[in-house]
Amino acid sequence: MNLHDSGAADPRRWLVLAITASGLLLICVDITVLFIALPALTQALEATNSQRLWILNAYPIVVAGLLPGLGTLGDRYGHRRLFTAGLVVFGAASLSAAYAPTATLLIAARAGLGVGAAMMMPATLAIIRASFSDPRERSVALGLWGGVASAGMAAGPLVAGLLLTRFSWGSVFLINVPVVALALLGAWLAIPKRAAPGGPPWDITGSLQLLLVLTALMYAIKEPSRQDWSMLRLAAALLLAMTAFAFYWRGQRQRAQPLLDFTLFRLPDFGGAFSAACLGTTGAVGLELALSQYLQLVETRVPLAAALVLLPMSIAGFIAAPLAGRLLHRWPPRALGGGGFVLAAACAGTLAMLPATTSQPEWPRLLLLAGIGVGIGATVTFASAIIMNAAPPERAGMAASIEEVGFELGGALGVAVFGSIMTLAYAFSLQPMLTDTAVPAAVLDSFDEALRVAAALPAPEGALLRTAGAESFTAALRAVLLGVAVLWFTTGLVIGTGKKIRA
């Protein structure tokens, strides 16, 4: 008899949580691991600015596009089966990425990683729900799940920093392979086989249409940040996104069981939790992307030293998320979710105001990053617990897919939106400093490009360009941090003052 169906507690439930969490850890680390490895990777593969964008964004865009369809596939054929298949795909794509000889092939491998992650992510939450029949234990388990998600995203830079001290950039992908092998063995031995709850067949047409919508939308968001940006390209991308979405919407209305069950959003708690998952990740990814580049390019820290600065955010998020799971039954969920966002916003805004000099003590920045980790760790648990407890058991895969779409869409938006803000603020600040110099306009594209140009100039001119670029990138970092603070504060205000949310 199925333990879950009989109401008995699964004696292997905590081991199952550890195994699924290992898969989740891989997925979340790969969202941010390239933030530290990007400078070395760019130099080794001679990647253009456009290729850099797609190396970062191919992964979360593919995940967000395929998650809804693959989540329903888990409902139909079994979440254990989908989880193990996803591990195999993720491991193979990791090998391909580690040895990719060109930026184009690396982008393709990153897309393959996205396919594997999209198979695993909804399965992890559905397996946890099936393994924990007691609501209080389930909240704690989801809190630990949220802690792993927060810690994985924040630990990505640290993993890269540690590996790059001795190995090439490909090691940030190769490290996935042994973890995949162990997780596969654990899944085969410990995760019980359960009858699939049933669900619609995979709507591959709808999945590809959704993927096209997201790809075109991210292209449109990033286009204005290019020095040679074109209104025609921007309009074409937006038109493509709207056309693909129109076809997607029309097709879904004709299906008895649509790819995304938008009726779940009629619950105020579900919509608020989805917003928390998406916008919390958007700000966290944007912050880490900008700060990790600043630490290496402006403060000239080696990758490991830059990653260590971000470590308090990882540790605090890992601790705060399961603690928030315990508090969900004691505090009003809206206070926990809204309060987490307000705390993170206050820390991000204060971080933007700190003096930009290496002579200042390090502890204020570390303390503020820890505060951000606490706030976002609490919001991740809030989102996961509310969404999974709101959905009926037969729609667990669908609910998990929608939540994970929120996380991955947030990751893609973080790179696209705050990456664009960073580029625009940098160029806006640097432009007036170049009026009396004869340097190419390409230095406005990125600080990396400015450093390459400065290395080829005579010493006095090169030093001036490096100084101007560092000042401009510092201004860009502040713009990103203030943007993140506004986003999080607004989200926290809406959640905290909205309708009552049930735990």
The 3 state secondary structure assigned to 412-464 is HHHHHHHHHHHHHHHHHHHHHHHCCCCCCHHHHCCHHHHHHHHHHCCHHHHHH
Distances (CA, A) of 377 to 152, 153, 262, 344, 383: 11, 11, 26, 10, 10
Please list the pLDDT of the chain residue by residue as tens digits (503 residues): 343 444 456 677 788 888 888 888 888 888 778 888 887 887 788 777 778 878 888 888 888 888 777 767 777 777 888 899 999 999 999 999 999 999 999 999 999 999 999 888 878 877 887 787 777 777 788 778 777 876 777 678 888 888 988 888 899 999 999 999 998 998 888 887 776 666 666 778 888 888 898 889 888 888 887 777 788 999 999 999 999 999 988 887 777 777 777 777 776 577 778 888 889 989 998 998 899 889 988 888 888 888 888 888 888 887 887 777 777 777 777 778 888 899 999 999 999 998 766 666 788 999 999 999 999 888 887 887 777 776 666 666 667 667 777 877 888 888 889 988 998 899 888 888 776 666 777 788 778 778 888 887 888 888 888 888 889 999 999 999 999 999 999 999 888 776 544 44
Cα–Cα distance measured from residue 280 to residue 336, given in angstroms and rounded to the nearest whole number? 14
Give the distance, in angstroms, between the CA of residue 484 and the centroid of all CA atoms in the same chain: 14
The confidence score (pLDDT) of residue 6 equals 41
- 268-272 contact pairs (CB < 8 A, 24+): 268/498, 268/499, 268/501, 269/333, 269/386, 269/390, 269/499, 269/501, 269/502, 270/386, 270/387, 270/390, 270/391, 270/399, 272/334, 272/337, 272/386, 272/494, 272/495, 272/498, 272/501
Collapsing DSSP to helix, strand or coil, 165 comes out as coil
Burial label, 218 (beta-carbon count in 10 A; 0-12, 13-18, 19+): buried
3-state percent breakdown (helix, strand, coil) of the chain, nearest 5: 80, 0, 20
The answer to whether 427 touches 468, Cβ cutoff 8 Å, is no
The confidence score (pLDDT) of residue 91 equals 94
The confidence score (pLDDT) of residue 202 equals 72
Give the distance, in angstroms, between the CA of residue 246 and the centroid of all CA atoms in the same chain: 27
Give the H/E segment covering residue 31. helix 13-32
Cα–Cα distance measured from residue 157 to residue 122, given in angstroms and rounded to the nearest whole number? 24
Shortest CA distance to 404 belongs to which of 393, 396, 392? 396
